[in-house]
Copies of this chain bind each other. A is one copy, B any other.
Amino acid sequence: MYGLITRLTAHPGRRDELALLLTDPAVKKHGCHSYIVAHDLTDAETLWVTEVWVDQPTHQSWSRDLRASGAWRAVYGLMAKMDESILTRPLGGIGF
C-alpha cells in the first residue's frame, strides 16, 4: 500500500471548483483504495487530499497519464500552490 497526504491551496474563491475537479468520477482511479478531498476548517483556500493506492508505481502511472492527457491543466489553473506530499505506508483501519 502507498499513501499520500497533500495540502493544496486554491486561488482565492476557487476552492470548491478545485474540489469538484478533484472528485470528478469521470477521472478513473484504478488501483486507488481511498481518495478523500476535504476542506481545511481553518483556512478558506486550503484543501487536503488523502490517498491510498495499491502501490507507488500504480499511483505514478496514473499521475503521469493524467498530466499527459491534459486533464490536469484545469486543476493547475485553479491552484495557487501544491505542497510536497507526505508519503506513507497505510497499514490498516477502516475504509480502504
Contacts and interface: CB of A to CB of B under 8 A. Distances in A.
Contacts of A95: 32-36, 52, 95-96
Summarize A's interface: helix, strand, loop or mixed.
strand
Contact of A37 (B29, B41, B50, B90): B90
Nearest to A88: B38
Given A5-B48, A50-B5, A35 B93 contact: yes
A41 B87 contact: yes
Interface string A1-43: 1010100000000000001001100000100111111111110
A23 to B, nearest CB: 4
20 contacts: A19-B91, A19-B92, A23-B93, A32-B95, A34-B36, A34-B93, A34-B96, A36-B90, A36-B95, A37-B90, A37-B93, A38-B90, A38-B91, A39-B89, A39-B91, A41-B87, A41-B88, A48-B86, A52-B95, A95-B96
